[in-house]
């Protein structure tokens, strides 16, 4: 059988990560992994992030050629999903409707929006299909979880869907179980923190880590009393963009300790910095509160595993803290880091091999 070769693309604000994987007889072989940096003088030529897609696509094609990867031998191209309208989990064929929506002026600006356009741009020249996998707007929330307290502003599902889903499947596989048979609480620990309740394969509740729900994180404030937010917004000289930046980008650990680098925080704690220790433990405390809330409200305590993932899951103190506080609910397992490139590849592979059906964005 001819090997399956898949190009995965993960665009960031100042760089584009690419990886080429080959699959033969269930073996996953990494042929190429590269981070393409984009100098500020290059990306600032474009008025909108979305306008960068062709420029970045050409750099990817050049990188493939330089590393001996024949673009015509690719089975498909998979890009990271962006801020589309809410969709169910899965692997979606990139179509005109998707690209029109992502180009809309009403779509929030984010580098991930480039993923589908770049994948399509490259795949089109080969005659192969382009896909995106589990974008951040995956929405499987139960109706009861959508109530916010103000009818005009329902809760929305925006979270680290790609990594959460991939790690949930990995946990199930490691225990010889099917993902859709388990009740999992998956905690993504990164610059933002999202905690999802995975009920038999669907994320039925999750905090919106982008817009201010849940625990504070290295860069985000998390949930704050509404009256305090109102006070913030009416401070002298405050604008809408400044207020948003205060809670997403300059909130959390950044506001308390002046850094978003958890390695620096850990070093300060080890050196006896009491303020750093208090802030660190407060973040852990809020994470465990959110886990407990999910365990009670969603699962009535019937949880199979609590799964920790993301870059901060490398922190042994944090993992130990969470295990000590929540281990009575279910076994706590850590899968440090995040392999979004592998997750993109596996999403495409499942469709190429007929395990999953390609979904149509409508």
pLDDT along the chain (362 residues), means of 10: 90 92 88 93 88 94 96 96 93 97 90 95 94 96 97 95 95 97 97 96 94 92 94 93 90 95 94 97 98 98 97 95 98 93 96 95 94
pTM of the model: 0.90
pLDDT in the model for residue 52: 93
CA separation, residue 225 to residues 78, 206, 212, 222, 233 (Å): 40, 19, 11, 10, 13
Helices (H), 40-113: 40-43, 53-66, 96-103
From 342, 340, 301, select the one nearest 197 (Cα to Cα).
301
pLDDT (tens digit per residue) in 139-156: 999 999 999 999 999 999
pLDDT in the model for residue 135: 94
Give dist(CA 185, CA 219) in Å, integer.
Answer: 22
Give dist(CA 92, CA 292) in Å, integer.
Answer: 33
pLDDT in the model for residue 1: 64
From 214, 180, 174, 177, select the one nearest 294 (Cα to Cα).
214
pLDDT in the model for residue 99: 96
Dihedral of CA 249/252/257/263: which sign?
negative
Q: Do 109 and 43 touch, CB atoms closer than 8 A?
A: no
Q: Give the bridge partners for 9, in sequence order.
A: 18, 79
Q: Do 63 and 36 touch, CB atoms closer than 8 A?
A: yes
Kindly list the structural domains of the chain, giving each domain's residue range(s) and its CATH number in brackets, ordered by start.
4-140+340-360 (3.30.420.40), 161-336 (3.30.420.40)
Give dist(CA 313, CA 103) in Å, integer.
Answer: 35
Give dist(CA 179, CA 177) in Å, integer.
Answer: 6
DSSP strand pairing (91-93 vs 76-80): unpaired
pLDDT (tens digit per residue) in 61-101: 999 999 999 999 999 999 999 999 999 999 999 999 999 99
What backbone phi and psi angles, to 5 degrees, belong to 38? -125, 105
């Amino acid at each position: 059988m001819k090997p399956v070769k898949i190009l995965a693309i993960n665009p960031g604000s100042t760089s584009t990560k690419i990886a080429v994987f080959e699959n033969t007889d269930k073996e996953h072989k990494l042929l190429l992994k590269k981070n393409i940096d984009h100098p500020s003088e290059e990306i600032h030529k474009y008025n909108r992030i979305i306008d960068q897609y062709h420029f970045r696509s050409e750099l990817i094609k050049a990188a493939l050629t330089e590393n001996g990867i024949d673009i015509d031998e690719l089975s498909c191209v998979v890009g990271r999903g962006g801020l589309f309208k809410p969709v169910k989990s899965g692997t979606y064929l990139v179509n005109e409707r998707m690209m029109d929506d992502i180009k809309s002026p009403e779509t929030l600006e984010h580098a991930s929006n480039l993923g589908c356009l770049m994948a399509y741009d490259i795949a089109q020249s080969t005659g192969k299909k382009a896909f995106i996998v589990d974008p951040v707007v995956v929405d499987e929330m139960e109706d009861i979880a959508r109530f916010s307290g103000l009818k005009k502003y329902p809760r929305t599902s925006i979270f680290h869907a790609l990594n959460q889903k991939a790690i949930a499947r990995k946990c199930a596989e490691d225990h010889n179980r099917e993902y859709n048979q388990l009740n999992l609480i998956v905690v993504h620990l990164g610059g933002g923190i999202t905690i999802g309740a995975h009920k038999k394969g669907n994320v039925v509740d999750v905090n919106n880590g982008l817009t201010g729900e849940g625990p504070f994180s290295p860069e985000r404030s998390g949930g704050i009393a509404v009256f305090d937010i109102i006070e913030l917004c009416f401070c002298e000289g405050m604008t809408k963009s400044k207020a948003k930046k205060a809670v997403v980008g300059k909130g959390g650990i950044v506001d308390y300790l002046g850094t978003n680098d958890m390695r620096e925080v850990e070093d300060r704690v080890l050196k006896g910095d009491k303020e750093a220790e208090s802030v660190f433990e407060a973040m852990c405390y809020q994470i465990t509160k959110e886990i407990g809330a999910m365990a009670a409200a969603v699962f009535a305590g019937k949880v199979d595993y609590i799964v920790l993932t993301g870059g901060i899951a490398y922190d042994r103190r944090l993992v130990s803290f969470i295990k000590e506080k929540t281990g009575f609910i279910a076994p706590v397992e850590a899968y440090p880091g995040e392999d979004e490139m592998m997750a993109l590849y596996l999403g495409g592979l499942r469709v190429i091999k007929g395990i999953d059906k390609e979904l149509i964005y409508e």
